Amino acid sequence: MDVTNVVVLIGRLARPAETRELPSGDRMVAYEVTVDRPGERAETVPVVWVGAPASAGDHDVDERMLVIGRVRRRFFRAGGSTQSRTEVVAEAVISARHAKRAAAALDRAQARLAEALR
């Protein structure tokens, strides 16, 4: 059985992006994306983008963003115990101002989902 793990978030940046250089030499950008839920509390979702372009950290707090990626739960040691974090690993992070690019990214995600259902 094929399993597809596709996440689509539309929300706003809750805090400035954090850019880090990984030991592999890749750039990683970390975001906190707040997704409004009408009639309920908003949810803030941690997002990481490994191999992100240099411009990935240039977004402003409260900017509306589209994130397409997958859910990952990672485990790590901290304070002498094993802890975990569930996050979205981004394939694309696009400002809502770029409507055509966002629509194209959504079309690609929808095509992947449709293919998985066949």
In angstroms, what CA-CA distances link 21 with 25, 47, 58, 92?
6, 16, 16, 19
Looking at residue 79, the DSSP 8-state letter turns out to be T
Kindly report the CATH number assigned to the domain that includes residue 90: 2.40.50.140
* 2 in a structural domain: no
**What residues of the chain score a pLDDT lower than 70?**
1-3
Q: Is residue 81 part of a domain?
A: yes
Could you give the number of structural domains in the chain? 1
* pTM to 2 decimal places: 0.87
Structural domain for 52, as ranges: 7-117
Q: What is the structure's pLDDT at 75?
A: 87
Give the pLDDT score at 4: 80
In a domain, 77, yes or no: yes
Residue 1 lies in a domain: no
pLDDT at 2: 55
Residue 36, domain member (yes or no): yes
CA gap 6, 26 in Å, rounded = 23
Strands 64-78 and 7-13: antiparallel
Task: Tell whether 29 is covered by a domain.
Answer: yes
Position 104 in a domain: yes
Backbone conformation region of residue 5, classed left if phi is above 0, alpha if psi is from -120 to 50, else beta: beta
